[in-house]
Amino acid sequence: MPKPRVLIVEDEADIRELIEYALTREGLEAETAADGTAGLAAVRRRVPDLVLLDLMLPGVDGLEVCRRLKADDATSKVPIIMVTAKGDESDVVLGLGLGADDYVAKPFSPKELVARVQAVLRRSRSATSVNDKQVIDHGPVRIDPNRHKVFVLDDEVPLTATEFRILLYLASRPGRVFSRDQILAFALGPNTIVTDRSVDVHIRAIRKKLGEHRDLVETVRGIGYRFSEEPAVH
């Protein structure tokens, strides 16, 4: 298999070089762009396997780059990991809504960054082969989309239809963060009027029903929720 190619869009040279070094050391191929316009041009020249996208860029900013990549059929499937300043939760939520896959907040460790990149690459590879109706086995939890049933070990967990949809949505992409808006849109449909808080209420109910495996549904402060990538060991 050829080396995965990552495009790094980052205006700060030190950070750009740090990321490039960390990725190439782990056997990935890296290309760099110093601003949004150069980043878009690089993607059009040769579509990468993943884009690491700084949000605070001069000129065309990161969110706009994300918007344009997702709006173009040729590039809409390329996974994007946003690189954000600490405390930029509202931009992260916007970016997730635009279709970005994940984010890393500065300052980050190179090790953490590489792990995120590899996780998203893994997910994007498996996403092309996974059937939506496939049973999800995640440690002690089994989610069966065909029968609309969830089991912890062999015990069925009695979820409501909405709770089931939320859990299925999160668990179909372990490790990926979803904003409350994304969860609502998926679980309740786009035409339902609900508040953010109702997601929290559903999540609380799901956790309660998962009992000792409640930690599988993780809170990402200021952003939303994700399903743990590591199956819980109890």
**Footprint of Ca ion on this chain (CB under 5 A)?**
11, 54, 56
Phi/psi-derived region of residue 59, left when phi > 0, alpha when psi is between -120 and 50, beta in every other case: left
CB of 110 to Ca ion, least distance (A): 17
Instruction: Choose between 103 and 225: whose C-beta lies nearer to Ca ion.
Output: 103
Instruction: Choose between 59 and 211: whose C-beta lies nearer to Ca ion.
Output: 59
CB of 39 to Ca ion, least distance (A): 12
CB of 80 to Ca ion, least distance (A): 15
Query: Residue 213 to residues 14, 162, 219, 227, 232: CA-CA distances in angstroms?
Result: 41, 19, 14, 11, 7
CB of 54 to Ca ion, least distance (A): 4
Give the CB-nearest residue to Ca ion: 56
Question: In this structure, what token pair is assigned to residue 113?
Answer: 């960054």
Strands across the sheet containing 155-157: 136-138, 141-144, 149-152, 155-157
Q: What is the DSSP letter of 213?
A: G
Instruction: Choose between 56 and 194: whose C-beta lies nearer to Ca ion.
Output: 56
Question: In this structure, what token pair is assigned to residue 18?
Answer: 């740090």
Instruction: Choose between 12 and 29: whose C-beta lies nearer to Ca ion.
Output: 12
